[in-house]
Amino acid sequence: MEFEPVIGLEVHAQLLTNSKIFCGCSTKFGAPPNSHTCPVCLGMPGVLPVLNRIVVEYAIKMALAVNCTINPLSEWARKNYFYPDLPKGYQITQYAYPLAEHGWVEIETNGETKRIGIARIHMEEDAGKLIHDEKIPVSYVDMNRAGVPLIEIVSEPEIRSPEEGADYLRRLHEILVYLEICDGNMEEGSFRCDANVSLRPKGQESFGTRTELKNMNSFRNVQRALEYEIKRQKYILENGGRVVQETRLWDDAEGATFPMRGKEEAHDYRYFPDPDLPPLVVSSRWVEDIGRTLPELPSEKRKRFIRNYGIPPYDAEVLTSSRALADYFEAVAARCGKSKAASNWVMGDIMGHLKEDKLEMNECPVAAESLGDLIKLIEDGTISGKMAKEVFEEMWRSGKEPAVIIKEKGMEQITDPSALEKVIDDILAAHPTQVEQYKGGKEKVFGFFVGQVMKATKGQANPTMVNDILKEKLGAL
């Protein structure tokens, strides 16, 4: 029997606010344990949460970017469970009435475009962090992360393969980073993903029993975990077994998923509206104001790059992978007016050097305008493409302008016809044997003369002009 996977993904994204969602403690990562805490985020009795306005703004930004409807009225709820990283014994989240619903993102997998529905986006607070002692049976609790704002983005169960799952995540990640509301760091847990997976016989409407996968901290691992889980469930079903509904953890080293121990009975969260927080009212005016601040999103930018710059889709995809990179490319293209050349230099030399020196785009030592100038110098024949590479290396090292480097190194091409004629006359006079050979029909000797001219001018002669003048002179002999 042929089975079809049904996958839904839940993404938790940490929002880039300065302070926590319900108190003024800093959200900065890496501070000494428990130094960013106060009675509110420690869950002391009698304290009251007050909502950070920017959290709502960022959540609305994301909701608009993925085509969601923003609910004018949403509600805060308490999700009740006991765990040492949760100081109040409940997490403040949104449940029955989330901030936003019914959105979608477009993904492209193996050349096919598809819309993946987004069921809802809601806001909530993060929990603290547990560190387990390696020797004695105790755990240490750091509450710095408790109360850091998160949005949860829940997809519809419309993903049909691990590849689609990974593509969907890449799109969400890209949008969050473009909006500058999440740093997208998967290692530090700023972008986390859980997956729900089930199989059903192809053609069947109803869903099979699902498992929930956790602990995948990269796009690749999400894809691997989904692949493994689909295989595992298929094996069970094909052998007449039944899939058990459970939470499973991905083990990267083993390349497999394993059932999570404990916590199972705690799945009854007894949600109820949080009496400490009034319902959240979002006016259409507020939504419109936020909508006007949205930057051009990656998918629109890609389409515009292909349309306006005439660059191949692959180039557009690479160049729009980050806002900084896209801005840089546009500045280079604007300066030199040669978009394909700009694309080649940015994707090749710039990205290569950045990677090699482990630099971010904003740390690039070559200004976009300087690179644009360099491309112009190639186009107008001042230097050859080969020399340009040398100039570029120097620009990367010293940050100097290309014209300055060319002057200092005496690298300008010789484009003065009389100067070139003089050199060529000298060479022809010095090599009578080869001239005879050429006249005798041995046209290969032409290359020899070109080589001699280049040697005499240290490669600075303009190649097209050398060709023309040589042909003319040899023809006249």
Tell me which residues touch another protein (CB under 8 A).
Answer: 17-19, 23-26, 32-39, 42, 50-56, 73, 75, 80, 82-84, 97, 130-133, 137-143, 249, 260-263, 265-266, 268, 270, 273, 275, 277-279, 281
Cβ distance to another protein smaller for residue 50 or 324: 50
| Long-range pairs for 311-320: beta carbons < 8 A, 24 or more residues apart | 311/339, 311/340, 311/343, 315/340, 315/343, 315/347, 318/347, 318/351, 319/343, 319/346, 319/347
Closest approach of Cβ 36 to another protein, in Å? 5
Closest approach of Cβ 206 to another protein, in Å? 29
Cβ distance to another protein smaller for residue 99 or 319: 99
The tokens of 249 are what?
């953890």
Integer-rounded Cα Rg, in Å, for the chain is 31
Closest approach of Cβ 75 to another protein, in Å? 5
Which residues, other chains included, contact 303 with Cβ-Cβ below 8 Å and sequence gap of 6+?
316
Closest approach of Cβ 264 to another protein, in Å? 11
**Nearest residue to 62 (alpha-carbon basis) of 187, 222, 156, 174:** 174
**Nearest residue to 149 (alpha-carbon basis) of 287, 23, 36:** 23
Closest approach of Cβ 125 to another protein, in Å? 14
Contact 253, 217 (CB under 8 A): no
Cβ distance to another protein smaller for residue 3 or 97: 97
Helix (H, G, I), strand (E, B) or coil at 223: helix
Closest approach of Cβ 58 to another protein, in Å? 10
β-bridge pairing 191-201 and 3-14 = antiparallel
If one counts every other C-beta atom within 10 angstroms of the C-beta of residue 288, the result is 10
Cβ distance to another protein smaller for residue 18 or 245: 18
Cβ distance to another protein smaller for residue 144 or 322: 144
Q: How would you list the strands of the sheet with 69-70, edge to edge?
A: 69-70, 100-109, 112-125, 149-155, 3-14, 191-201, 211-216, 247-251, 256-259
Cβ distance to another protein smaller for residue 21 or 311: 21
Cβ distance to another protein smaller for residue 132 or 444: 132
The tokens of 450 are what?
């070109």
Helix (H, G, I), strand (E, B) or coil at 64: helix
Cβ distance to another protein smaller for residue 189 or 459: 189
Q: Quote the Cα angle for 433-439-445, to 5°.
A: 65
DSSP labels, 330-373: HHHHHHHS-HHHHHHHIIIIIHHHHHHTT--GGG-SS-HHHHHH
Closest approach of Cβ 17 to another protein, in Å? 5
Contact 372, 358 (CB under 8 A): no
Contact 78, 272 (CB under 8 A): yes
Distance CA 113, CA 463 (A): 47
Contact 10, 120 (CB under 8 A): no
User: What backbone torsions phi and psi does residue 190 show, to the nearest 5 degrees?
Assistant: -75, -15
Closest approach of Cβ 287 to another protein, in Å? 15
The tokens of 41 are what?
């985020």
Cβ distance to another protein smaller for residue 137 or 240: 137
50, amino acid identity: V
Cβ distance to another protein smaller for residue 180 or 296: 180
Cβ distance to another protein smaller for residue 273 or 365: 273
Closest approach of Cβ 179 to another protein, in Å? 16
DSSP state of 22: S
Closest approach of Cβ 278 to another protein, in Å? 4
Closest approach of Cβ 14 to another protein, in Å? 14
Cβ distance to another protein smaller for residue 81 or 446: 81
Closest approach of Cβ 381 to another protein, in Å? 54
